[in-house]
Amino acid sequence: MMQITARARARSSARGAVEGLPGLDPGGILGPVKKPLIIVESPTKARTIKKFLPARYAVKASVGHVRDLPKSTLGVDVEHDFTPKYLTIKGKGDVIKELRGAVKGATDVYLATDPDREGEAIAWHLAELLKLPEPKRIELHEITKEAALAALKHPHVIDMGRVNAQQARRILDRLVGYKISPLLWSKVRSGLSAGRVQSVAVKLIVDREREIEAFVPKEYWTITAFLEKARQDDASFTADLVSHRGEKLEIGGGEQAQAIARALEGAAYRVSSIKRREVRRNPPAPFTTSTLQQEASRRLKMRVRRAMQVAQSLYEGVDLGASEGTVGLITYMRTDSTRISDQARDAAREFIAGTYGEQFHGTTRHRVREGAQDAHEAIRPTSVLRTPERVAGLLRRDELRLYTMIWERFVASQMAAALFDQTIVDVAAAEYGFRTTGTVMRFAGFTRVYEETREEDAATKGRVRLPDLNEGEPLECRKLEPKQHFTEPPPRYTEAALVKALEDNGIGRPSTYSTIVETIQARGYVMQQERRFVPTPIGAAVNDLLVEHFPKIVNLDFTARMEGDLDRVAEGHEDWIGLLRRFYGPFESELEEAQEKLPRLELRDEPTDEVCPACGRPMVIKHGRFGKFISCSGYPECKTTKPIVKETGAACPKCGGAIVERRSKKGRVFYGCGNYPKCDFISWDAVVPERCPVCGSHVIAKTRRGGSPQLQCAADRDHDVAPPVSATSS
């Protein structure tokens, strides 16, 4: 019997020992088979890994965090080195019981939580809770069989620098939130909260709104000449007035514009100079978390939170059918690095050369941004051979749209620069100078695959084809067009612009941008109008109080320095408890002073003439996360509410009823008929009272990227519906 057992053990050990990977417990013949156990956070990730790893591995999910600070109390012992009091998260009992059972039957335990500070902290909490004597930490930067097997060969210990950085961030946020929030409840209104990073984001939005309110538009004029080569009607182009007697010219009013137009009457136009040069446009870097969120917002109109949810599903794994099974399609999506691996670079080169030609492969090495943690690669497809066309039938709509964007951006980042021939033509007329710029693409380069989304004006500027011209050549002016303009205030933040501002100012990190954007809306401090952030009255009031009494909390430089300090903790260069001490001393003094000096702020609801149909009390206007609404003044006893109907002055094109502004369940503004549900007309763009002068269809105000609304015929966008601008002084 002993001889049989020894042979069985030898066979079992041989089957399990593959290239340095752990094998089965040799006791499989005599008792329950023990397996190496891999613990991840996500059930989806667990299912993906289980499908492609050998059956000798058990894979379980913790379903996110298993321990956290208590919800109802501070949970931090400030007097004893800020010791946190961690509790098992409510509802996790069955998960933990299952994990403990799995650990008992495991030969080894591998903690494969996400490869960032949050994931490191989850791994540490699991090790503490499950009492693992020698936990093995592995990092999966992509969910593929090759990456998982490679990680299992090189486990390491839990990185306590990362863990302590996450603990310090969590405790800092808890101290700010639990110390300031009760003060706001007593002085302003119950239910309010203050966050260390969210308050800075709100300040950015409030400051921008006040810039806009204080902005004074300045009038200016442009004059455009419609020119053509003599006796060649098909060789026309336009040029803008730029100089007078060789000096830069600025036109401040209509009278000046008209005087210039009169001075140019009968003037002879000729080409005074032609300059030609080559212009290179280098490919964009592959995506980081921030640039992915920005481009998804601009290009796909996808909210930051949604973009990260979809990216998470692409990272954790998608079933590609019998050919490949379940596999992660992109690398880890929380990163601030543009670095890619040599293997990925080589695979991209081979793909580009084989698909587009060797001349399309580039040699650009994208620099990693100064101050980046550079802990992971950029976001890229796990295999460049999985083109969007190959996976199109296997992905949901948003998954395919985001994956396509990630794949195209990565491939483009490894391609050659685009080359343009740029021609700058100066035209002289009397004492005035006009200029036009024409750009013709000579080599498509990376634009064969992808072009970064730009503001509309910037994207089209200079893309003009010019006729063949020679210096000294006479031109004919068919028309001079003076046009009035006004300078515009800085635009309100979109989600994309806010994420960029946070990154540029060193506020937050890749894993926090989405949470910041969602939190400030959920708290009712800001709302979105036409996809741009506007502070609510309560958000502006709370911001002003924090600026006055807690200047460091809402100071951009202070918050950015704190992020740098947390980075040093993660790198093992700074003690996390010392960091907390340095913060808490001054903060406690500010808190005590604010408790004495902070005035009680009364935020009154706006009265209306309406009476609540349910209880007879007056109805008032309140502010919510999606804007104003009418509510019973008896809230919370009476919860009657109704939307504020805002008429646009336009008539419904279907039934003639009034077009009113409405909001969807998710807060997005749309325009519908006031006779709903009898009439189901809706439009995502504002409907204006004017009708198309060409076809009589209704006209919409289309908001272009980065610009003011432009009128457009709903039936045919090419119809000219813009009212003419008079060339007279206002």
- Is 332 noted as a catalytic residue in this protein? yes
CB-based burial of residue 724 (10 Å sphere; 0-12 exposed, 13-18 middle, 19+ buried)?
Answer: exposed
DSSP string for residues in 332-372:
-S--------HHHHHHHHHHHHHHT-GGGB----PPPPTT-
Reduced to 3 states (helix: H, G, I; strand: E, B; else coil), residue 564 is helix
* Axis crossing angle, helix 556-570 with helix 160-187, rounded to the nearest 10: 150
- Identity of the amino acid at 5: T
Residue 223, burial from CB neighbour count under 10 angstroms (0-12, 13-18, 19+): buried
Q: What is the 3-state secondary structure (H, E, C) of 238-299?
A: EEEEEEECCEECCECCHHHHHHHHHHCCCCCEEEEEEEEEEEEECCCCCECHHHHHHHHHHH
Tell me the residue ranges of DSSP E strands in 402-473: 418-429, 432-443
Q: In angstroms, rounded to a whole number, what is the distance separating the alpha carbons of residues 519 and 515?
A: 6
How far is the C-alpha of 110 from the C-alpha of 108, rounded, in Å?
7
| Residue in the block written with tokens 């209509």 | 254
Of the residues 86, 269, 332, 671, which is catalytic? 332
Q: How buried is residue 599: exposed, middle or buried, by Cβ count under 10 Å (0-12/13-18/19+)?
A: exposed
In angstroms and rounded to an integer, the radius of gyration of the C-alpha atoms of the chain is: 32
Paired residues of 361 in beta bridges: 415
Q: How far is CA 162 from the centre of its chain?
A: 25
Q: Give me the DSSP letters along 77-101.
A: ETTTTTEE--EEPTT-HHHHHHHHH
Q: What does DSSP assign to residue 228?
A: E
For the chain, how many residues are written? 730
Residues 6+ apart with CB under 8 A from 643: 629, 630, 662, 663
Residue among 34, 41, 29, 40 at smallest CA distance from 57: 34
Tokens of 536: 């609510």
Q: Taking every pair of C-alpha atoms in the chain, what is the biggest distance, in angstroms?
A: 115
Beta-bridge partners for 423: 276, 438
Q: How many helices (H) and strands (E) does the chain have?
A: 19, 30
Tell me, letter by letter, the H, E, C secondary structure of 507-522.
Answer: CCCCCCHHHHHHHHHH
Active-site residues: which are they? 332
